[in-house]
């Protein structure tokens, strides 16, 4: 199933609509029309959407009360109708397991803090959803997201100056999440997939303007981090994206943003071949 997914707004519309088209050409299929969903409601806001890897279903969320508590729904893309289950009081997003048998999502507590991550099996009662991880520190927020290669589910936990990640294989969503590096006040790091490695953007070891390290995907604990792009004062590295053969980073130097493409393994400029 080869499709390109996108979003657009209708002239005069207030909500996005999501669609897909065959990559080899063909008619556009509207998956979710935000204006139609919002019709007749005094307030309506869409959350995130995520299609299953078999392209059969769409996970989507909405808030129609202005409470910022989102309800998660699952749409059957063959019929255009939603499945019966509704999951309320969520943060507005979810991530599919590799087998598309269910998804992980974050549930909000009465203080509107994303304190628990659950797994919901399609067709099941949300009251029976399996608790995957609970964050006990009220100063930290968390979210679950998937990698582009659909191999990993990342649980990101952070406050304004400290971060922590826990990992799950997307084909084993009920396993206990594996800690990457324990939270340490002032230590920030972000993970990005890179095939057999993770890229790690971090301020560790006094890297005030951040540096890029790597770690093997099977054991990415901090002891296995290896420097790839060293810290350079005055060059703020903002993000990194991994591809099959290359790594792309966004950075700011002398007040100007720039995109830098490098060899994935060595960090060197790509060859001209």
Tens digit of each residue's pLDDT (9 = 90 or more) over 108-144: 998 899 999 999 999 999 999 999 999 999 999 999 9
The token pair that represents 205 in the structure block: 């070891």
pLDDT at res. 271: 63
| Percent of the chain topping pLDDT 90 | 88
pLDDT average, residue stretch 80-87: 94
- Contacts of 39 by beta carbon, 8 Å cutoff, 6+ apart: none
For residue 81, what are the β-bridge partners?
A: none
Q: Which of 117, 162, 121, 152 is nearest to 136 (CA)?
A: 117
Q: Is the pLDDT of residue 273 over 60?
A: no
Concatenated DSSP letters of 5-69: EEEE--TT-SS-EEEEEETTS---EEEEEHHHHHTT-S--EEEEEEE-TTSSEEEEEEESSSSSP
Tens digit of each residue's pLDDT (9 = 90 or more) over 236-262: 999 999 988 889 999 999 999 999 999
Instruction: Calculate the average pLDDT of the chain.
Output: 94
Our CA angle for 137, 223, 194, nearest 5°, is 90
pLDDT average, residue stretch 184-213: 96
Q: CA separation (Å) from 39 to 36, 59, 87, 244?
A: 5, 20, 21, 43
At residue 259, φ and ψ (nearest 5 deg) are -105, 130
How confident is residue 195, by pLDDT bands cut at 50, 70 and 90? Answer: confident
- Contacts of 131 by beta carbon, 8 Å cutoff, 6+ apart: 116, 117, 118
Q: How far apart are CA 78 and CA 270, in angstroms?
A: 43
Secondary structure in 3-state letters for 61-79: EEECCCCCCEEEEEEECCC
């Amino acid at each position: 199933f080869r499709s390109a997914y996108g979003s657009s707004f209708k002239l005069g519309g207030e909500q996005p609509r999501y669609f897909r088209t065959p990559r080899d050409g063909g008619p556009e299929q509207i998956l979710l029309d935000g204006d139609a969903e919002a019709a007749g409601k005094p307030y309506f806001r869409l959350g995130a959407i995520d299609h299953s890897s078999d392209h059969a279903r769409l996970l989507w969320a909405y808030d129609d009360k202005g409470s910022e508590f989102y309800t998660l729904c699952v749409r059957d893309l063959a019929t255009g109708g939603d499945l019966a289950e509704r999951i309320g009081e969520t943060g507005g997003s979810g991530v599919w397991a590799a087998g598309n048998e269910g998804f992980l999502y974050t549930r909000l507590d009465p203080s509107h803090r994303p304190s628990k991550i659950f797994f919901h099996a399609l067709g099941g009662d949300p009251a029976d959803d399996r608790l995957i991880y609970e964050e006990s520190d009220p100063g930290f927020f968390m979210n679950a997201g998937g990698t582009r290669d659909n191999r990993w589910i990342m649980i990101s936990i952070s406050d304004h100056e400290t971060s922590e990640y826990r990992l799950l294989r997307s084909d084993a969503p009920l396993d206990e999440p594996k800690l990457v590096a324990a939270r340490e006040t002032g230590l920030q790091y972000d993970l990005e997939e890179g095939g057999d490695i993770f890229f790690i953007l971090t301020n560790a070891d006094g890297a005030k303007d951040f540096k890029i390290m790597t770690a093997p995907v099977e054991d990415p604990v901090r002891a296995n981090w290896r420097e790839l792009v060293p810290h350079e004062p005055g060059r703020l590295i903002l993000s990194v994206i991994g591809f099959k053969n290359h790594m792309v980073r966004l950075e700011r130097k002398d007040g100007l943003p720039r995109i830098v493409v490098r060899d994935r393994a060595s960090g060197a400029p790509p060859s001209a071949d």
